[in-house]
Amino acid sequence: MGEARSRIHRLPESLVRKIAAGEVIERPASVLKELVENALDAGARRIHIDVAEGGRQKIRVVDDGYGMSRADVELSVERHATSKLSSPTDLFTLDTLGFRGEALASIGAVSRLSIETRVAGDDEGTLIIIEGGVRREFGAVAHEVGTAVEVQSLFFNTPARRKFLRHTDTELRYLTQTVVQLSAAYPSVAFRLRHGDRDILDLLPGERRQRAAELLNADPEELLWVELSGGDTMKVEGFITPPGRCRRARSKQFLIVRQRPIQSRPVGTAIYAGYGSLLPPSAHPQYVLWLDLDPRNLDVNVHPTKREVRFAREAEVRQLVQEAVRTALRVPEASAFVGADSALPMAPARDNLRVAEGPARAFGEPETELEQMNLSLLPSAKPMGEVLDRSSGGEAMLIQARQSGIWQSHDKYLLLPIRDGILIVDQHAAHERVRYEEVQDMLVREGEASQQLLMPLTVDLSPVEMQAFQASEDMFRILGFGVRQFGPATLLVDSIPPELRNWGDGDIFYQILSDLIEELEARSEARDAMAASMACHTSIRAGERLDRREMTSLIERLLKAREPFACPHGRPILVKIPLTEFDRLFHRT
Ligand code: ADP
Ligand code: MG
């Protein structure tokens, strides 16, 4: 294998710094995203994915891309080894999805990673196995041209991370979303996703219209074509659903900017504005839009996990998109759809995506009527503080709840039948209260465990933020943040509290700081302010599905709290609907 065969080279140190973005492989979906992006970068036409246990146990991605030579495989698992980027200017013309050369190294550090691969022209392929960052095997293997990467036992050596993985269904939903998003950007590539022995997705390669129709679960013919360019520097193309086919769920919205699935609030708003009054009340447009613009007008955050871009000429982009949508809807056929469809505006269509039962809702299939039924009993329900004094005994309540079960409703409230009624608990408020008290206690006790980041993250602070940080530096340390000053306006974070949820790319650090600044104005004790801000960011949110164990543990901890009736911001946590109220409703009195 001569030198010309080698596609991979090391990044210069200066660029490594420039990229200076920390990354935490947060969950199985982050691993899958990296692997699928690599396959796409390698020119794959067909990508087969097999996962087990929501990705916890296994994530396997097989592609028919160009593969790697033996020398390249060896380099590929080293940090900052990439074939894709060589000079700082390349960052702005990103033609590949990857460029940092750290994904495989990071993944190999926290799992058992095996790569089998072969390039065309080589007689034999190569197998490499890395376990917790240590090379276990390296040698020849028979393999077709292309690459198979398998990640087993993710986070086996970082128990804190592993513990914070969600319910299998939830992780599978993230996995599915990852594939769906990338498949919108690459319509001509076939994607298959299997979970255990179940087919979750099977997307055939096709034209953009076919792929859009499949992802939007629509008839290809009914999609409206959108196309407009603004001079020769920007262009938007894509498909939208006619107003009558708009749904109540907003999850079928795909924006692709230069081959990357992206979130952008300004563009989203522009699309709604394009529909204007044609959009039925509380309906959301469904769309797949591809936006192409001069990369110099794009601030793709160099950040790994970040799916947001900033547009240098945002107003122009917004205008272009709004106008494009408006024009597409004005096409004569469009109005026919409005009329024809409005009789059954929200009718759920057959789901030809073949989404598995659990994550189906991820794409926002309209809820069934039954699911929409709310407990409309609340007028006479009272916040628990008033109804129940402490003496009526948390213990007794818990025993009862254990016997009759706890239900989660709308991924937001927990329902517990008790002797004389039903308790309704706001899961976020409850957890926030529990965390608030825990953090307060921690700050007195000192010294929490912390969790090492795979890559330290640099954060640039404004003077106000820096001041707030310095004033509370001790508390940050106690809570488990490893933070060092790295320059007058920069911090280096290399470890975080293990219970910090959604650390993602570190945005949460800014949120905690800005909340802290706000809370400091409202509370005289710095410790309480810190506790309130940390509690908020380490709590379960509305919208998270909890399993039985999580629900019981939450209720248990809540009942032990010093003040279980109101969250740190004064909202109620518990309300009780007395049995007498049910009796009254059913005329049993
Ligand atoms: P990056 O994608 O940012 O370059 P990665 O750590 O994801 O970094 O991958 C390192 C290198 O390994 C890539 O630059 C690429 O050359 C090679 N590589 C990884 N996955 C594949 C694949 N599926 N097919 C071919 N080459 C791959
Ligand atoms: Mg990559």
pLDDT digits (tens, 9 = 90+) for 537-548: 888 888 888 888
Indicate whether residue 304 lines ligand 1 (CB < 6 A): no
Looking at residue 225, its pLDDT comes to 93
Q: How far is the CA of 69 from the centre of ligand 1 (A)?
A: 12
Q: pLDDT tens, 38-54?
A: 999 999 999 999 999 99
Instruction: Return the closest-CA partner of residue 218 out of 312, 115, 88, 352.
Output: 352
pLDDT band at 65 (very low <50, low <70, confident <90, very high): very high
DSSP state of 431: H
The finding on whether 98 has its CB within 6 A of some atom of ligand 1 is yes
SS3 of 85, please?
Answer: coil
Mode of pairing for the β-strands spanning 253-257 and 234-240: unpaired
Cα(261) to centroid(ligand 1), Å: 19
Is pLDDT above 80 for 409?
yes
DSSP 3-state of 114: strand
Residue 55 pLDDT > 70, yes or no? yes
Which tens digits make up the pLDDT trace of 260-282?
888 888 899 899 989 888 887 77
Contact 117, 146 (CB under 8 A): yes
Residues with CB under 5 A from ligand 2 (ion): 38, 98, 103
Provide the whole-model pTM: 0.58
Band of residue 382 on the pLDDT scale cut at 50, 70, 90: very low
- Read off the pLDDT of residues 295-328 as tens digits, 9 standing for 90 and up: 777 765 544 455 667 788 888 999 999 999 998 8
CB-count exposure of residue 235 (10 Å: 0-12, 13-18, 19+):
middle
Higher-confidence position of 99 and 195: 195
Alpha-carbon separation of residue 295 from 119, 457, 512 (angstroms): 31, 25, 32
Beta-bridged to residue 495, according to DSSP, are 452, 482
Q: Calculate the average pLDDT of the chain.
A: 78
How many helices and strands, by DSSP H and E, does the chain display? 20, 25
62 φ/ψ angles, rounded to the nearest 5 degrees: -115, 125
Q: Does the structure show a pLDDT above 80 at 465?
A: no
Ligand 2 centre distance from Cα of residue 42 (Å): 10
Q: What's the distance, CA 495 to chain centroid?
A: 21
Q: Which of 15, 49, 104, 117 to mutate to test the pocket of ligand 1 (most atoms within 8 A of CB)?
A: 104
Residue 150 β-bridge partners: 60, 114
CA of 513 to the centre of ligand 2 (A): 31
Whether 99 is in the pocket of ligand 1, judged by its Cβ within 6 Å, is yes
Helix (H) or strand (E) holding 198: strand 198-203
pLDDT at 362: 30
Centre of ligand 1 to C-alpha 236, Å, is 30
CB 21, CB 303: distance < 8 Å: yes
CA 188 to chain centre: 25
Instruction: Please say whether the beta carbons of 92 and 295 come within 8 A.
Output: yes
Pick the closest to residue 182 from 49, 18, 370 (CA basis). 49
Q: 465 in ligand 1 pocket by Cβ < 6 Å?
A: no
Would the CB of 10 count as within 6 Å of ligand 1?
A: no
Query: What percentage of the chain carries pLDDT values higher than 70?
Result: 77
Ligand 1 within 6 A of 67 CB? yes
**CA-to-CA distance for 141 and 165, rounded, in angstroms?**
34
Alpha-carbon gap, residue 275 to 69, rounded angstroms: 51
Q: Is the CB of 576 under 6 A from ligand 1?
A: no
Decide if pLDDT at 199 tops 90. no
- Measure 587 CA to ligand 1 centroid, in angstroms: 68
Assigned token pair, 584? 């009254």
pLDDT at 306: 54
CA distance 92 to 300: 8
Residues 6 or more apart in contact with residue 241 via CB below 8 angstroms: 216, 218, 222, 223, 224, 285, 286, 287
Long-range own/partner contacts, residues 87-91 (CB < 8 A, 24 or more apart): 87/15, 88/14, 88/15, 88/18, 91/18, 91/19, 91/300, 91/302
Kindly state if the Cβ of 143 falls inside 6 Å of ligand 1. Answer: no
